[in-house]
Every structure is written in C-alpha cells, then in structure tokens.
Amino acid sequence: MATLEAYQQKLERQQKEARNFFDAALKSVDPWHAVDSRLSLEAGVLSTGEHQIELPEEGRVWVFGIGKASAKMARCVEMKLNDRIHDGLIIVPYGTETDLEILQSFESAHPLPDSNSYACSLELVSMMKQVQPDDVVLFLLSGGASALSCIPSGDLEVRDIRETTQILLNSGATIHEINAIRRHLSEAKGGKLARHLPECNVLQLLISDVPGNALNDIGSGPMTTDPSTFNDALIILKKYQLQERVPSCVLNHLKKGRNGEIPETVKKPDQFRANIHSTIIASSDITADKAAEAAEKSGYNAKVYNPSYSGETRKIAKWIAGQAIDVLSRNTPVAKPAALIFHGESYPNVTGSGVGGRNQELALAFGLAVEGQHNISILSAGTDGVDGPTDAAGAICDSETALKARDKGLEPESFLINNDSNSFFSAMNTLVKTGPTGTNVMDLQIVLISK
C-alpha cells in the first residue's frame, strides 16, 4: 500500500511540476516582452537589430496589427514610440483587453470569421490607404489573424469562408494546407493586404504560430509573398476528398483561378510598392527551450524535440508516447528522471459528435498508449489558452488516468472515438485552464518520466 501511495504521489507531483514548467514557458513569449526586447527607437532609427528604418522628420508613423497577441504588442509599441505614432488600428478576438491610449481596436471572431471580420478589415484597408510615401508603417501580426481578418474574394461571402474553414479544420489538413486555400479565397491574405500601401517603409513584427515559421503561413501572410497557387488549393481539397463538401461557389472560384480568370496571390516582392522588412520576435522554439530550462532547474534531464512537429493528432500522440517509453525502458535519449519537450501543431480528424480540442485529444490518445506504464505524465496545451471550442487550454494525463476512468465506469476509448476529449477530462478533473493568454505560438507538450 505504501508503495502504491508513493507512486500516486509521484504522479500528482509530476502534474504540478508540468503545469509550473508550462507557465514558465508562457512567460517567455509574452507579446509585450517580445516587442520590448527586440524593438528600439534611438536617434530617430527604428530597429529590431535585424532591420533598421530611419524615421523621416516630416513623415508619420502608422501602427497596424491583427492577431491574438496584437493587443499586447501594440501596447508596448505605444510605450516605445508614444507621440511619434500618428494613428493606427488593431484587430483582436472578442473580449480582448486592449488598454490602448493611441491606437484604435476592433474585435472580430476566431477561429471562424464573422461579419465583423469583414467590417474590421475594411476599416484597416481604409486607414492603410491614407499612408503616404514618406510615412513609416509598423505592422504587428500574430496567430488568429486568418479568421480575425476576412475579405472574401470575387463573389464569395463571409459565410462561404466560414463554412469552408470549419470543414478544413475538421479534415486533418495541416495548417500549411488550410492557409494555402484560405489565401486563395481572400483579398487580404497572400500579400494582397500590402498592396494597399504606397511606396513606403514597413517594419513587420511577427509572433509565429505555425510549424517552420514560414512568413506566408503566419496569419495567412497578408504582408508576404505566397508560393502556393490556385491549383495547389484544388489538389489539397482532392487529397482530403472535400470537393463535394465545400460550398460549390468556393470550388468554382478556385477552378476559375486555376484557369487564369482570377489573379493569383502575390508571388514576388517587386509586386509590392512598399519596402517590407519582417522579423519573427517569438515562436514555439522559445517556449520549448524555456520549459526545458525550468525542468532542468527542478532536477530533470531535459530534451527538446526540434523542429516543431506537424501531423495528425493521434499519430503525434503515439510518436510522443513511443519516445517516453524509450526513456522509461532504456534511458534513451536521456536518462530518468526526464522531461521531454515537444512543440508544434497537430490536426485532429473529426468524425465524432463530441466536444474537444487537439491538445485534449492528444493527451487522451497518449494516456491510452502509456496505460499501465509507470511514472509517465503529459501536459498538452495551447499557448493561446484556447483548445478547440472549449474553455480549456488542454489537459494533463498520466499512465493511470485511463485506469482511474475505468474504475469510474468511463471507457476512454469511446471518448476518443467520438472526439469527446473535453467531456473525458472534465469528468477526470484534469483540464488545463489558463484563460486567453494574449499570445499564440502553437502547442506545447511536456512529458515527465520519473525513476
């Protein structure tokens, strides 16, 4: 009995430690801190270290932003530039606290666009058209921008984009594939938003929420060239057998684009009038390193798995479980006690009628894969604090969770099959709830294995 109690106490301690490591990781990519550490204004020169722009004496400074992190980013910019800012606006999710003194803020929907996503975008375009060649633009972009800003292309309407986005999110398609389609249904994505600017200098600060940190995928690249094509978008629909599921007007639009009847997205920088300099100021790599650092300070041997992963949720869960079992049984690639840190974005294939999110589903699939293994715990959570259509960021699961569920008369496999991970972890009281964090650098998994 004493041994069993000690084992359970160890698992409980792991869960608390995992949450502490996650909180430390979140602090490392706070948007305000990210801007503060990279952006400076000295002797009239605006600099990120990587890029420098001299502010003309007669010119004005405009600040625009879209995304979950844009409010905190904009507040830091206000502090640094203060009265040098002429005007600007940001688009944020509903309910975001902005606390801005100079810039305007507008709210719209996420993860699916709504009418406000369209209205806000028109306001943004209208203000961007007021920029003059002697002005400087600071553009703040972060995750969530693809839904928060929506200007349908051609004869499409917001409801068509909304329906298509929901189908794509449930299909198992990667974020790269989803954004390739979204860029070709939009008059703002794929570099098209930047076309509203004159020949001026633009400094773009980005917080990445995509595997690989490709500029064209962050917020669907409103200020960036796009290598994908209409034909690529059609191939993706065919790959996931979605041709008959998306609205017919969307399919027809993509076919017209493939046939050259609709202009492509921006392909080359010389298609912009503006001179755009881009700097990524925060990404999942930073959160993973910070979680590892916190784990090492607590006595764990930490390993970060790079690069960021991208794949179907349950396959990623099985891969992570395999790495944990290797450590448990063979002390490789690090010895116990070990902290394995994974970062990236997975894509659930939703066929059930339950409620959940990719992090909760990943945690549940992991728990089933390590059931009966000793001293293994996982925390899987989204850094934005929102996992799917739930109020949780993710969940914590260990090698005993499935066993405890069965003792309660719950069948974890049934919850997984029905994509009902939120109901499962709510019943087990192991949901991770942070509330909206004001940042977004994909997902983080922290796996702890004790001796």
pLDDT in tens, 290-342: 999 999 999 999 999 999 999 999 999 999 999 999 999 999 999 999 999 99
Q: Is the dihedral of CA 125, 127, 132, 138 positive or negative?
A: negative
Statement: residue 356 has pLDDT above 80? yes
Cα 28 to its chain centre, rounded Å, is 16
Q: What's the pLDDT score for residue 389?
A: 92
Buried b (16+ CB within 10 A) or exposed e, 286-311: bbbbbbbbbbeeeebbbbbbeebbbb
pTM: 0.90
Give the DSSP H or E segment for 176.
helix 175-183
- For position 2, what pLDDT does the model report? 45
d(CA 312, CA 331): 27
Between vectors from CA 405 to CA 401 and to CA 409, what angle results, nearest 5°? Answer: 170
Q: Rounded distance, CA 249 to CA 258, Å?
A: 14
Return the H-helix or E-strand segment holding 217. none
Output the six-digit token pair for 376.
């293994």
H or E element that contains 158: helix 158-169
pLDDT of residue 1: 37
Look up residue 422 and give its two tokens: 């939120």
User: What is the average per-residue pLDDT within 177-197?
Assistant: 98
**What are the b/e assignments for 107-141, b being 16+ CB within 10 Å?**
bbbbbbbbebbbebbeebbebbeebeeebbbbbbb
Residue 12 has pLDDT above 90, yes or no: no
Sheet holding 40-42: strands in order across? 40-42, 45-47, 52-54
Tell me, what's the pLDDT at 99? 92
Mean pLDDT of 198-207: 98
In this prediction, residue 6 carries a pLDDT of 65
The three-state (H, E, C) secondary structure of 121-133, written as one string: HHHHHHHHCCCCC
Q: 54 by DSSP, 3-state: which?
A: strand
Query: Which candidate, 329, 409, 330, places its Cα nearest to that of 372?
Result: 329
User: Exposed, middle or buried, 374 (CB in 10 Å: 0-12/13-18/19+)?
Assistant: middle
Is residue 150 scored above 50 in pLDDT?
yes
Give φ, ψ of 334 to 5 degrees: -135, 160
Measured CA to CA in angstroms, residue 272 lies from 39, 68, 179 at distances of 24, 26, 21
Q: Which helix (H) or strand (E) holds 447?
A: strand 443-449
CB 373 within 8 A of CB 444: no
Looking at residue 9, its pLDDT comes to: 78
Asked if pLDDT for residue 91 goes beyond 80, the answer is yes
- The distance of Cα 65 from the centroid of its chain, to the nearest Å, equals 16
Model confidence over 219-272: pLDDT tens digits?
Answer: 999 999 999 999 999 999 999 999 999 999 999 999 999 999 999 999 999 999
C-alpha dihedral sign at 198, 200, 205, 208: positive
Q: Inform me whether the pLDDT recorded for 23 exceeds 70.
A: yes
- Domains in the chain (CATH in brackets) are 2-27+285-449 (3.40.1480.10), 31-151+186-228+265-282 (3.40.50.10180)
With cut-offs at 50, 70 and 90, classify the pLDDT of residue 374: confident
Are the CB atoms for 110 and 147 separated by under 8 Å?
A: yes
